[in-house]
Amino acid sequence: MTCDQDSVVEVRAERASKPPALTIRAAAKINLHLGVGRVREDGFHPLDTVYQAIGLHDDLVIAPADTLSVTTIAADHVDAAGVPDGEDNIALRAARLLAAHTGHEPTGRLVVRKDIPVAGGMAGGSADAAAALMAFDRLWDTEIADDDLLRLAAELGSDVPFALIGGTARGRGRGEVVEPVDDAGVWWWVAVPTTEGLSTPAVYRHFDVLHPDAPLEPPNAEPVLAAVATGEPVRLARALHNDLQEPAIDLRPELGTLIERGEAEGALRGLVSGSGPTVVFLCDSREGAVATAAGLRGAGHDVALVAAGPVAGAHVVD
Ligand code: ATP
């Protein structure tokens, strides 16, 4: 094959004058343990939780621009009607916070390719915030220290520090005090989103109504931590725990029926993800997850997504 030397030079010159777009990937989270304590006077619930990042993600593409903007492109199974395209978008809030902290002019064009269900209890907004912090940090070359980035993440939301770290990790406080934990497994999940979201504050309010005398200290994550360290799916299935499952099912009884159905289709255990309404099923293997997802689709749940965990937190993919 021959090659025209002039056109090679032109292409190189164009590349040099226009920095390439950068893609940051951010994973959805599930809570293997979500222990909730009694609401405090400041309105927050003390948590002891174990997060896991799973292979269902949003990709954020960042490019230089004269102004700051965000556009969301949603996968077929995602209803992005509730995602703001203006300043309320948490990705833009992340950009402004980083700009204020570093003194950088807040500019850049962000495209969010959304695969994580919105208002599904899988922290898609938090994933976008973490990825946006990383994206604008790279675009502006801020050289912010990791600890400072984690502090900004916690200001944006309780789940955002975990979205930066990924893997499997314990979260305390409001969930924002995160430490990685030993995880010996490759865990296979089926996630079934529901078209209509369930608001996190509404589920917590219902928890308060159902459990006005909840313990001050949230139920402890030790059983799940011990199970995760063994790598054995049957042990983890027994240990999975979510204090928000009862209020979520009370608000949406069909979630209980869905859990029963997935377990009848072969899953080891079904669990409401975070505050719901997404339900996740732990399976014994990849094959088990594929079979459970097929069974659920056959039962009319058109979207049943197979994903493995743990995966990395927000990271550059090209
Ligand atoms: P969590 O599990 O952390 O409670 P969630 O998965 O239930 O979160 P999200 O998808 O994170 O819910 O979004 C909650 C709300 O945040 C949305 O209904 C939307 O109004 C708002 N929001 C702002 N920015 C975004 C974004 N980039 N992606 C999704 N939602 C956003």
pLDDT, average across residues 117-135: 95
In a domain, 98, yes or no: yes
Domain boundary (181, 210, 242) is at 181
Residue identifier of the C-alpha nearest atom 15 of ligand 1: 119
DSSP string covering 25-92, please?
EEEEEEEEEEEE-PPPTTSPPPEEEEEEEEEEEEEEEEE--SSEEEEEEE-TT---TTS-SSTTSHHH
Quick: pLDDT tens for 229-259: 999 999 999 999 999 999 999 999 999 999 9
pLDDT, average across residues 73-81: 92
Per-residue pLDDT, 21: 87
In a domain, 318, yes or no: no
Single out the catalytic residue among 115, 159, 183, 243. Answer: 159
Residue identifier of the C-alpha nearest atom 12 of ligand 1: 119
Residues with beta carbon inside 6 Å of ligand 1?
Answer: 82-84, 88-91, 112, 118-126, 128, 159, 197, 200, 274-275
Its domain, for residue 252, covers: 187-309
Please list the residues that pair with 34 across neighbouring strands: 49, 242
Per-residue pLDDT, 196: 83
State which amino acid sits at residue 316. V
In a domain, 7, yes or no: no
Quick: pLDDT tens for 177-187: 999 999 999 99
Beta strands at 47-63 and 68-74: parallel, antiparallel or unpaired? unpaired
In a domain, 278, yes or no: yes
Per-residue pLDDT, 7: 47
- 29 included as an active-site residue: yes
pLDDT, average across residues 60-77: 96
Indicate the average pLDDT of the chain: 93
Q: Does 195 lie in the same domain as 130? A: no
In a domain, 212, yes or no: yes
Q: Does 141 lie in the same domain as 54? A: yes
